[in-house]
Amino acid sequence: DSFKSKKIEKPLDIKIEEIRDLMRKFNKNSELFLNTGGVHSCALCTKSGILIFEEDIGRHNALDKILGRAFLEGMDLSDKLVLTSGRISSEMLIKIAKRGVPAIISRSAATSLTVELARQLNITVVGFARGEKMNIYSSFPSLNF
What pairs with residue 24 in β-bridges?
none
pLDDT for the residue numbered 94: 96
Q: Which of 77, 78, 89 is nearest to 11 (CA)?
A: 78
Please give the domain boundaries of the chain with CATH numbers for all domains.
2-144 (3.40.140.10)
Nearest-5° Cα angle at 109, 107 to 113: 145
The string of pLDDT tens digits covering residues 14-32 is: 999 999 999 999 998 877 6
DSSP string, 31-44: HHHHHHS--EEEEE
pLDDT exceeds 90 at position 5: no
Task: Quote the pTM value.
Answer: 0.91
pLDDT tens digits along 47-86: 999 999 999 999 999 999 999 999 999 999 999 999 999 9
Are 101 and 79 spatial neighbours (Cβ–Cβ below 8 Å)? no
Query: Which amino acid appears at position 32 of this protein?
Result: L
